[in-house]
């Protein structure tokens, strides 16, 4: 018996297609491809209908909405970062992405905003301004 798991070529092809269509795949996509392809395919069809298929909203608009909603939901760093990277790849500016994240402030509050902002700052390499007076770090 081999310690190397058997590679399911259908699953590899499906994950590759997801990566090409979305511009990213998440860790759970990879795990689901190995564990339960029918559910992954069903979930991906919903995502296609609402997100990746071209309908009325532009891809850039959809990415900004995704970034905002993931920020409000305090999704994982990796999930928010993947959508920020896709947005940057399709020509959305870092400032436009930040503006979408800032929309979270009045509706979801500072904590949710800071979560998305920290991901944004990490992805775009934002640099802050350090105070020149003594301050407690927080």
What is the reported pLDDT for 137? 84
Angle between helices 37-47 and 27-35 (to 10 degrees): 140
* Largest CA-CA distance found in the chain, in angstroms, rounded: 65
Closest CA to 114 of 102, 128, 125, 126: 102
Tens-place pLDDT, residues 24-40: 898 999 999 999 999 99
Asked if residues 71 and 101 have their Cβ atoms less than 8 Å apart, the reply is yes
Tens-place pLDDT, residues 119-137: 999 999 999 999 999 999 8
Q: How far apart are CA 135 and CA 44, in angstroms?
A: 48
List the pLDDT tens digit at each of the 138 positions of the chain: 555 567 789 999 999 999 999 888 989 999 999 999 999 999 999 989 988 899 999 999 999 999 999 999 999 999 999 999 999 999 999 999 999 999 999 999 999 999 999 999 999 999 999 999 999 987
Residues 76 and 38 in one domain: no
Residues 80 and 116 in one domain: yes
Asked if residues 40 and 14 have their Cβ atoms less than 8 Å apart, the reply is yes
Residues 63 and 77 in one domain: yes
pTM of structure: 0.81
Residues 122 and 59 in one domain: yes
Residues 78 and 37 in one domain: no
Let me know if residue 135 belongs to a domain.
no
Residues 46 and 90 in one domain: no
Q: How far apart are CA 72 and CA 105, in angstroms?
A: 9
């Amino acid at each position: 018996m081999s310690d190397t798991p058997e590679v399911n070529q259908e699953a590899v092809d499906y994950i590759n297609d997801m990566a090409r269509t979305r511009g990213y795949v998440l860790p759970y996509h990879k795990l689901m491809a190995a564990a339960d392809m029918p559910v992954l395919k069903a979930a991906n069809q919903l995502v296609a209908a609402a997100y990746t298929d071209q309908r009325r909203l532009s891809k850039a608009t959809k990415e900004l909405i995704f970034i905002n909603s993931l920020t409000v939901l305090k999704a994982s760093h990796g999930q928010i970062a993947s959508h920020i990277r896709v947005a940057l790849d399709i020509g959305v500016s870092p400032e436009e992405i930040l503006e979408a994240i800032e929309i979270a402030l009045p509706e979801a509050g500072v904590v949710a905003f800071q979560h998305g902002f920290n991901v944004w700052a990490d992805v775009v390499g934002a640099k802050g301004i350090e105070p020149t007076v003594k301050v407690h770090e927080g």
